[in-house]
Amino acid sequence: MAPSLRPDDVITTRAWPWFDRWRRPVRFSRWIVESPADGPAVKRVVGLPGETVALTDGDLVVNGRTVLKSPALLAEVAVVSPILSIVDDRQIRLDRGEVLDDVPFAVEVNRPLLPVHDAGIAAVVTTGAVGGRVGLDVDRERIVWRLGPGHRVCLVAGRLDGHRVAVAWRLPHDTRLIDDRLPAGAPVEWGDAATWTGDSGPDTLAPAVAIHVIETAAIERAWRWRDVLVGPSRETATTWTLAADAYFLLGDFPTASHDSREWGPRPRSSLWHALAR
């Protein structure tokens, strides 16, 4: 379940775990499940009873619509790396180009690398006594964020699940920044999300994205991020229609995950306990 769970991480269940047999799993919640072959495992619920689930160009499509992850979920599953060469404290830019689904936490997995079209950048920005303005550019579309005085803010922008997305959230000044994770506290809704109108398809290049200071702010830290790429099924199926008591489960690192792509939908009785967030 990397990158959301790493070796030596300790998982905990929700309060009153014996009630989990009556709880209704929600999309993107993580559960300890009984797998058909490997015993207990942690997987994420992506398809709910009665839905038709498809995996198309690396994205999750439910009932014909691509499902947009929330900023909070992106912070869990995105593969993140720091931008070490910040030219100045006023602009960070990534040009349009190829992004591959390599990962730093599983270099021993021998596999062909595939292009990822959902990617972007994040930055922590600080403002002075009068506040500031910061622009987020995603493939020639501009969004302007006004920031209050004395704020420390994380901004995220890019292409995700068929949308142009952007969001900002305030950070406590003592928040510790980590090289391979987005800062904590990401919200559950995007501040801006519009249907992607550019190129699409499995070979689409990742977009050009920039975060730049318009006035009275400074960029403290920046990262590249890319979305998890849901690879093709290990079997022949690419679409599944779920029965009234069935769920579709995926791992967060699909390249090495055994999940519903090979098991098929799983009955509710195979979901044992929900994980605490």
10 within domain boundaries: no
The secondary element (H helix, E strand) that includes residue 163 is strand 163-170
d(CA 158, CA 208): 8
In terms of domains, do 83 and 220 share one?
A: yes
Of the candidates 208, 226, 244, which is a domain's last residue? 226
Beta bridge partners of 231: none
In terms of domains, do 50 and 84 share one?
A: no
In tens, the pLDDT along 230-275 reads: 876 666 678 999 999 999 999 999 888 899 999 999 999 999 999 9
6 within domain boundaries: no
Of the candidates 193, 208, 226, which is a domain's last residue? 226
Helix (H, G, I), strand (E, B) or coil at 207: coil
Look at residue 234 in the predicted model and tell me its pLDDT.
Answer: 62
In terms of domains, do 221 and 97 share one?
A: yes
The CATH number linked to 239 is: 2.10.109.10
189 within domain boundaries: yes
User: Is the distance from CB of 58 to CB of 117 less than 8 angstroms?
Assistant: yes
183 within domain boundaries: yes
In terms of domains, do 25 and 125 share one?
A: no
d(CA 60, CA 63): 10
In tens, the pLDDT along 29-79 reads: 999 999 887 789 999 999 999 999 999 888 999 999 999 999 999 999 999
The distance from CA 231 to its chain's CA centroid, rounded to whole angstroms, is 15
In terms of domains, do 101 and 85 share one?
A: yes
In terms of domains, do 203 and 94 share one?
A: yes
Look at residue 233 in the predicted model and tell me its pLDDT.
Answer: 62
Q: 166: closest CA among 136, 207, 127, 124?
A: 136
Percentage of the chain lying above the pLDDT 70 cut: 97
Question: Is 7 a residue whose pLDDT tops 80?
Answer: no
d(CA 186, CA 194): 19
In terms of domains, do 175 and 213 share one?
A: yes
In terms of domains, do 178 and 268 share one?
A: no
In tens, the pLDDT along 126-154 reads: 999 999 999 999 988 999 999 999 999 99
Give the pLDDT mean for 82-108. 83
Look at residue 256 in the predicted model and tell me its pLDDT.
Answer: 84
25: tokens are 């799993």
132 within domain boundaries: yes
In terms of domains, do 134 and 250 share one?
A: no
In terms of domains, do 84 and 221 share one?
A: yes
In terms of domains, do 189 and 244 share one?
A: no
Longest dimension (CA), the chain: 60
d(CA 214, CA 199): 28
More confident residue, 76 or 19: 76
175 within domain boundaries: yes
- Per-residue burial over 169-203, b = 16 or more CB atoms within 10 Å of its CB, e = otherwise: bebeeeeeeeeeebbeebeeebbbbeebeeeeeee
Q: Which domain holds residue 138?
A: 79-226
Q: 121: closest CA among 145, 155, 169, 87?
A: 155
In terms of domains, do 83 and 166 share one?
A: yes
User: Is the distance from CB of 115 to CB of 57 less than 8 angstroms?
Assistant: no
User: Is the distance from CB of 59 to CB of 196 less than 8 angstroms?
Assistant: no
Q: Hey, what's the torsion of the CAs at 251, 70, 239, 22, to 10 degrees? A: 70
Number of domains the chain is built from: 2
**Strand intervals (E) in 190-233:** 192-195, 209-215, 217-226
